[in-house]
Structures are given as C-alpha cells and as structure tokens.
Amino acid sequence: MTKSGVSRRGFLTWLTRGGILAWLASVFYPVIRFIMPPESGEANVSQVKLPFTRADIEADAKKAKTFKFGRLLGIIVATETGELKAMAATCTHLDCTVQHRPDLGIIWCSCHNGRYDLDGKNISGPPPRPLEPFVVEEVGADIFVHKEMA
Amino acid sequence: MSIDEHPPDMMQKAYRAIDERFRIGALVEYMDGKKVPKHRHSAFYYLGGMTLFLFLMQVATGILLLMYYRPGADSAYESVRFIVSEVTFGWLIRSLHSWSANLMVMLAFLHMFTVFFTRAYRKPRELTWYTGIGILALSMTFGFSGYLLPWNELAFFATRVGTGMAGAVPVIGDYLLIIMRGGEEVTGATIGRFFGLHVAILPAAFTSLLALHLIFVQRQGMSEPLGWANKKPDEKRYIKFFPEFALRDALVWLVLLNVLVLLAVIFPDGIGVVHWPLGEKADPFGAPPAVIRPEWYFMFAFQALKMIPAHVLLIEGELFGMALFGIGGLIWVLVPYLDRKSPEGKQSIWIISFGVLVVLFMVVMTIIGYMVE
C-alpha cells in the first residue's frame, strides 16, 4: 500500500471527484452545444448578381445600395467618375453598417465616425482594418459582384 | 407593551397562532431593535430602497407588456406598435417601463457612488458591495437586452455595436458573438435570445442576488459614517427602523411613484437624451441613422471607444479600450479589499482620488458624447 504512495481512501476520493466532474461535464456539454446555433444554411457564396441596376444606384440619394453577399452585407457605390465600387458594408471597428458620403467622397461609419476611401481602405477614425473590396462586373444591365481572387 | 395586558384581539390571536407554530418571536424582537444612524448624510440611506421600488415597478410593468409582446423579426416591432397605438393604456405601460428602467439605473449608480464615497463597503460589508456590483451589472444587461426587443432602427444598430464589442474580446470573442447573436448577424434569432435573457434568465439571477443583498443589509444594518469610529456612544444619534425609517421609506416611494407617473404621462416617448421613440422598423440592409447613440449609461464607454485611435501600442484600439475599462472596473469592484485604511476609521487619499477620477471620467466622457455629433 505505502509503496505506491496512494492510499485506498485517496484513490476513492479522486475517483469520486473525477466522477462528479465527468457528470457535470455530461450535464453542461449539451447545454453549451444547445446555445451555439447550428451553422447557417446559406453557404459562403463567391459571386452574386445584384437585384438592381446601375440606374437604381445612381438614382439613390446617397448613390449607393446595400446587398446581401452570402452571409455578408455588401455596399455598392457609384463614384463621381461613374465607376461602380463594391465592398463589404460591415465596419471593421464594431460591426455597424457603413454608408456612402458622396459629399465627402468617402465611405463613412456613423456609429464612431470611421472613414474609408472608396477602395475600402481605412483612412481615419477607429477602424483597424480596411473593408474587404469586391470586384464589380457589368454584363449588359446586370451587375455581378465577386470576391477578389487570392 | 405586553400582549397580555388586554383580552387578546384578532391580531394578537393570529400572532400567537403563528408564533406557536413558527417561533417568530426572536425575529420580531430583532426587527424591533433595528436602528438607523442619523447624521447629515442620512438621506443616502434611501437610495437603495428607491432602486428596489423601481425594480418592483419593472417587474409589474414588464409582466403587463408580456401579455402582448411577441418576439421575432416579423412580430416584435408590430406587437410593440400594437401596444402603444391600440391597447388601452398600452402607451402608459411602455412609458412607465422605460422611465422606470432609466431611473432605476440612475439611482443604482447614485447608490453605488454614495456607498463608495462614504466607504460603506468596508469590512464587514464587503459581500454587500460585491452583490450590489453584480446587481448593477445585471441592471445594465437588462437595459441592453430590453433595448433590442422593439426591433426598431436604433435598437438594431445599438445591438450590432454592443455585440460587436463582445466579438473583439481575444480568443473567445467569435464564440461570444455567435452565442449572443444566435448567428453571425443580428437577426430574429437574436431577438429570441435577448427575449429569453430579458424575461427569464436575468429576472432569476437578479432576484437571487437581490435577496442576498437585502439579507446582508437586514442582518448588518446600515453602515455608520467613517468618523463615528472615534465617537463616544452618547454622541451618536439613531432612529428606529420600525416604524420611523420604514415610514419615511414608504413616503419616499410614494413621491417616487408620483414623479414616475408624471414623467410617463407628460413624456411618453422620453425627453432629451432619455428617449425611446418607436420610430422605423429595423432594416438589416439599411444604413444606420446619421446620429447613433447608446443609452446614456453606456455613453461614457461609447465615447471613450470613439476617441481611442485605431491602434495603440501595436494592439487594436477597441481592445486597448476594453482592457483599460477592465482594469479600472476591477479596481472599482475590489475596493473593499484594496482599501485597508477605512476599516480602521481612517481616510485613504488614494481611494478617494480614484473615485473622483472615475466619476470625472464618466461625467466628462458623457458630456463630450452628447456634444459631438
């Protein structure tokens, strides 16, 4: 008994404690898994066709439209030169939705005054990273948006 | 005044019957002996009770709102609009709930600051302080979760920013964000979670902590001023808890109820920076309104985060801000442990300076937050 350094009582104590821990884990594991929502059915898309036309974007008061890009939110803006630029619309600071400010020529987040240029690069305010830029392709009247190839 | 002097009336009979079965004599005697210190800061003793009264108002009006409120992206906004426009006195119940919520947080803050500056947290009341901090944290979580429930424009963006902050926490941030939002974005799933939190989990947790807090207060009585440690017994003044203090408490509650009802009736949508118009329904694809503000009690944190640059000392600004708040908050919470002088009846210049610094920071940040557009 004394050779192994573990008494019968000590062994049983650890067995009981381990058993209680295992029991607690078996109770709480399903609870924790339950509150983690299942993966969204929507896959990560690589390209979307926008449900509106260039005319719709240019007619908008802010010369911009938001669109759903898979699970992400995107924004497409018409610049002064008539170019269309698209990027992720979720501010990299704290997840607000950004907007186009044609008067300032920037993408602006009203929540904390974060500013990006029209390529999505963060230029002032709290945003730590640029907005992910998307590639815009116009085929006839249709606008397609896809991610940049790595 | 012995109960044997006259033939027993109904009350005395009932008391005897109960005492015979439950032996409440000792408890009644204990309550009868309770006293409250009387000094120039005695008014502070009413703040906790006022907060409690407003919590009871929240429970009552919250239960009433539950009769009509329906969580979900397609029903939440519509049901709140139904409450304020169709249900008789619906506007009043929602207004009372909102006013009472704001006043409750305000009074809880005042209560905490007066306790801090009178050093009432000192031994033997450390646990009362800790449970009180827990109650304040739960109150703010109540406010945050309740804010989303009407599913209007302001609620939607405030929740996106608030949960986005949780997402910036290192390592577990992504999990926290998904658990809070019920997915990657703020959607109807988020309403379901916030609703469950607001009407089931938080009330249960709050009631448990409140029960402990009140038991501690009843058991230990009111804290005496720091300077009383060196006073002779005949220099100290007290009033009896029953009935003097309890009656004054009741009067304060009555005044508070009147103020609350007046505010709710005259300003059903709130006023100034305490404002909760239903407004437009949340549009996940829309841009946020030009000026987006959190509730006033989150303003100091919101403004501070806004002023921190994108990167500080090679780490992201928001992370730096949260670390700063975390350290400051921890010192605040642990003050009964850190303040070694007050249990001996001595002043600690460090503790007072820290308290003044925290209050100044909160006040200045809040004012700046409302001044800049």
Show the tokens assigned to B161: 């920013």
Test B161 with A113 for CB contact under 8 angstroms.
no
Distance between A127 CA and the closest CA of chain B, angstroms: 6
CA-to-CA distance for B158 and B253, rounded, in angstroms? 32
Q: Does A7 touch chain B (CB under 8 A)?
A: no
Q: Nearest chain B residue to A113 by CA: give it.
A: B306
Determine which of A56, A90, A97 to mutate to test the interface with B (most B C-beta atoms within 10 Å): A97
pTM (2 decimals)? 0.85
- Please state the rounded mean pLDDT for residues B68-88: 95
Q: Which chain A positions have a beta carbon within 8 Å of B183's beta carbon?
A: 37, 40
> Is it the case that residue B4 has pLDDT exceeding 70?
no
**Residues of B near A (CB-CB distance < 8 A)?**
157, 160-161, 163-165, 167-168, 175, 178-179, 182-185, 189, 284-292, 302, 305-306, 308-311, 316-318
Residue B356 pLDDT: 97
Lowest mean pLDDT among A27-31, A47-51, B64-68, B70-74: A47-51
- Inspect the interface and report whether the beta carbons of A93 and B292 lie closer than 8 Å: no
pLDDT over 90 percentage in chain B: 72
Judge: A99–B311 Cβ closer than 8 Å, yes or no.
no
Q: What's the pLDDT score for residue A46?
A: 77
Question: Does A94 lie at the interface with B, CB-CB under 8 angstroms?
Answer: yes
Q: What is the mean pLDDT of chain B?
A: 91
Site from A93, A106, A131 to mutate, B interface, most B CB atoms within 10 angstroms: A93
Task: Output the pLDDT for position B285.
Answer: 76
Q: A 16-45 residues with CB below 8 A of B?
A: 35-37, 40
Cis-peptide into B203, omega within 30 deg:
no
What is the structure's pLDDT at B333? 97
Low-confidence ranges of chain A (pLDDT < 70): 1-4, 40-44, 149-150
* Chain B nearest-CA residue for A36: B179
What average pLDDT score do residues B158-181 get?
87
- B238-284 confidence digits (pLDDT tens): 999 999 999 999 999 999 999 999 999 999 999 988 989 999 999 88
> How buried is B165 (Cβ within 10 angstroms: 0-12 exposed, 13-18 middle, 19+ buried)?
buried
Average pLDDT over residues B351-366: 95
Per-residue confidence (pLDDT) for residue A1, from 0 to 100 = 47
- What would the pLDDT profile of B5-36 be if each residue is shown by its tens digit? 667 789 999 999 999 999 999 999 999 999 99
Instruction: Identify the weakest region by mean pLDDT among A59-68, B80-89, B324-333.
Output: A59-68
**A14, A57, B97, B221 from B252: Cα distances, Å:** 56, 59, 19, 19
Between CA B52 and CA B38 the distance in angstroms is 22
Separation between Cα atoms, residue B118 and residue B351, nearest integer Å: 11
- B1 pLDDT exceeds 50? no
Per-residue pLDDT tens for B197-232?
999 999 999 999 999 999 999 999 999 999 898 889
To test the contact with chain B by mutation, choose from A45, A48, A94 the residue with the greatest count of B C-beta atoms within 10 A, namely A94
Per-residue CA distances from B37 to B223, B224, B242, B247, B334 (Å):
8, 6, 13, 16, 26
Task: State how far the Cα of A98 lies from the Cα of B287, in Å rounded to an integer.
Answer: 6
A74 touches chain B (CB under 8 A): no
* Distance linking the first and last C-alpha atoms of chain B: 66
Are residues A36 and B285, on separate chains, in Cβ contact within 8 Å?
A: no
Closest partner residue to A96 (CB to CB) among B160, B311, B318 is B160
Give me the mean pLDDT over the B51-72 stretch.
Answer: 96
**Partners of residue A110 in chain B, C-beta under 8 Å:** 287-292
pLDDT over 70 percentage in chain B: 98
Q: Which of A129-143, B7-21, B295-309, B312-326 has the lowest mean pLDDT?
A: B312-326
- Which of the residues B185, B187, B299, B302 would you substitute to probe the A interface, choosing the one with the greatest number of A C-beta atoms within 10 Å? B185
Three-state SS sequence of chain A: CCCCCCCHHHHHHHHHHHHHHHHHHHHHHHHHHHHCCCCCCCCCCCEEECCCCHHHHHHCCCCEEEEEECCEEEEEEECCCCCEEEEECECCCCCCECEEECCCCEEEECCCCEEECCCCCEEECCCCCCCCEEEEEEECCEEEEEECCC
SS3 category, B158? helix
CB B318 to CB A62 under 8 A? no
* pLDDT at site A82: 84
Q: What is the pLDDT of residue A150?
A: 57
Q: What is the ipTM of this complex?
A: 0.70
